[in-house]
């Protein structure tokens, strides 16, 4: 299992996908061999998830450097040291470790996971050297219109996905929209392109205080939480801030009524400047990253949860959405109603939505949502939808794909 995002990496929800597969696959008849990167390659580390790696799992960490931190001179580094990504140095030692794992344990399948494209380069090299079947877990699309912006990186992404479409037994995506794009792009591989959504891990919620189930006191300031990275384009909150300004100017909302907390947004300075531009800084709070279970506890304690997903990501669903569903709190989604994020929330019974790029839509939807939160009538996710999003269930689907791959 070739994965850059793996404990002790901190600050990325992507860690959860691989970690929970590694955690649950042993009960489904598979022993995971995790091939990851040296912790020196990670910008932030935390030991809070290391205990969740099962004892039966084998973990090898190959030498890797981050070009932006380890190979830069005066803040600049050569472009070739970061193609297809800043961690391409991981490739060389990882292939060596991978071949050692093959000789030592004779695995039946190779699995690799993007969004660090080098993981697919590693898996492809091992696949070609050994003939072992390969399952390429893309999660999200790679080469897209205008992304990556660097033409040379875009071309490498395209070659990597073409290689996977030709060579991998299965290409796996986390949303129906992404799978549809790739079936259209690679029709010869269409039957091998499948959907395996993200999810939440029930064990991670064990022992946490249950979510509140009573109406909020009328006069108390509501806490609306966004947990996780706010990307400048894909989750741009500019129109949300514009809506807050409009609602305050119309005497429909006051900072004494609402606090929006951005937890681990990663772009705090950009967001602070944006809030200052619209004059809504007194509505906003920026909080640093916190250990994973503490982040889950905060979700369950918040009055409501906020989803941001722009229309340019209609074929993607933030992994955090599934944890939001399990947290049992009201959710408002600022997203394109035609996108996959809106679709998965509607299926769960979450209907409070507005377009992220429309201050007018947000001005209409936000007061109605907050009023419903105060009266205890705001919708939370349907229990059946929550159960369906369990990582254990997702792992069972993966085990089935691995079995099919191993049989040829």
Over residues 298-302, mean pLDDT: 95
**pLDDT tens-digit readout, 154-168:** 999 999 999 999 999
C-alpha of 128 from chain center: 29
From 10, 54, 60, 12, select the one nearest 38 (Cα to Cα).
60
The rounded distance, in Å, linking the Cα atoms of 350 and 346 is 5
| pLDDT tier, 216 (very low <50, low <70, confident <90, very high otherwise) | low
Confidence of residue 190 (pLDDT cuts 50, 70, 90): very high
Please, what are the domains in the chain? 14-199+390-407 (3.40.50.2000), 204-388 (3.40.50.2000)
Output the CA torsion sign for 239, 244, 249, 250: positive
The yes-or-no verdict on residue 353 having pLDDT over 80 is yes
The pLDDT, as a whole number, for residue 9 is 95
Residue 212: per-residue pLDDT: 67
The string of pLDDT tens digits covering residues 236-274 is: 999 999 999 999 999 999 999 999 999 999 999 999 999
Average pLDDT over the chain, rounded to an integer: 94
User: Does the pLDDT value for residue 280 go beyond 90?
Assistant: yes
Whether the upstream peptide bond of residue 84 has omega within 30° of 0, thus cis, is yes
pLDDT tens column, 38-67: 999 999 999 999 999 999 999 999 999 999
pLDDT of residue 397: 96
Angstrom distance (rounded) from CA 79 to CA 76? 9
Average pLDDT over residues 288-306: 94
CA distances from 328 to 71, 216, 292, 299, 311 (A): 45, 15, 17, 9, 26
**What local confidence, expressed as pLDDT, does residue 219 receive?**
63
104 bridge partner residues: none
Per-residue pLDDT at 239? 98
pLDDT of residue 81: 84
What pLDDT is recorded for position 77? 79
Helix (H, G, I), strand (E, B) or coil at 136: strand
């Amino acid at each position: 299992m070739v994965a850059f995002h793996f404990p002790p990496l901190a600050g990325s929800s992507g860690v959860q996908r691989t970690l929970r597969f590694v955690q649950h696959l042993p009960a489904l008849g598979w022993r995971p061999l995790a091939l990851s990167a040296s912790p020196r390659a990670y910008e932030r580390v935390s030991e809070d998830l290391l205990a969740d790696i099962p004892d039966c799992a084998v973990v090898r960490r190959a030498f890797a450097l981050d070009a932006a931190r380890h190979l830069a001179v005066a803040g600049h580094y050569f472009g070739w040291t970061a193609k297809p990504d800043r961690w391409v140095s991981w490739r060389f030692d990882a292939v060596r470790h991978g071949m050692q794992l093959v000789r030592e344990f004779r695995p039946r399948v190779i699995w690799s996971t993007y969004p660090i494209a080098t993981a697919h380069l590693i898996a492809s090299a091992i696949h070609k050297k050994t003939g072992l079947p390969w399952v390429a877990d893309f999660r999200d699309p790679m080469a897209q219109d205008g992304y990556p912006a660097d033409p040379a990186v875009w071309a490498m992404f395209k070659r990597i996905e073409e290689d996977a479409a030709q060579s991998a037994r299965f290409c796996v995506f986390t949303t129906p929209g992404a799978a549809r794009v790739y079936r259209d792009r690679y029709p010869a591989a269409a039957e091998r392109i499948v959907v395996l959504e993200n999810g939440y891990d029930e064990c991670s919620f064990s022992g946490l205080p249950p979510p509140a189930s009573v109406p909020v006191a009328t006069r108390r300031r509501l806490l609306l939480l966004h947990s996780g990275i706010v990307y400048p384009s894909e989750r741009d909150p500019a129109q949300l801030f514009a809506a807050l300004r409009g609602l305050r100017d119309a005497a429909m909302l006051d900072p004494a009524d609402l606090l929006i907390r951005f937890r681990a947004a990663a772009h705090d300075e950009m967001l602070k400047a944006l809030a200052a531009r619209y004059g809504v800084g007194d509505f906003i709070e920026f909080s640093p990253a916190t250990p994973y279970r503490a982040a889950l506890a905060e979700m369950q304690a918040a009055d409501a949860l906020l989803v941001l997903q722009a229309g340019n990501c209609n074929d993607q669903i933030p992994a955090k959405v599934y944890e939001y569903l399990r947290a049992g709190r009201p959710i408002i989604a600022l997203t394109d109603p035609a996108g996959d994020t809106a679709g998965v929330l509607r299926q769960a019974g979450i209907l409070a939505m507005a377009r992220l790029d429309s201050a007018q839509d947000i001005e209409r939807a936000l007061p109605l949502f907050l009023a419903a939160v105060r009266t205890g009538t705001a919708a939370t996710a349907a229990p059946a939808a929550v159960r369906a999003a369990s990582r254990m269930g997702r792992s069972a689907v993966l085990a089935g794909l691995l079995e099919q791959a191993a049989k040829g």
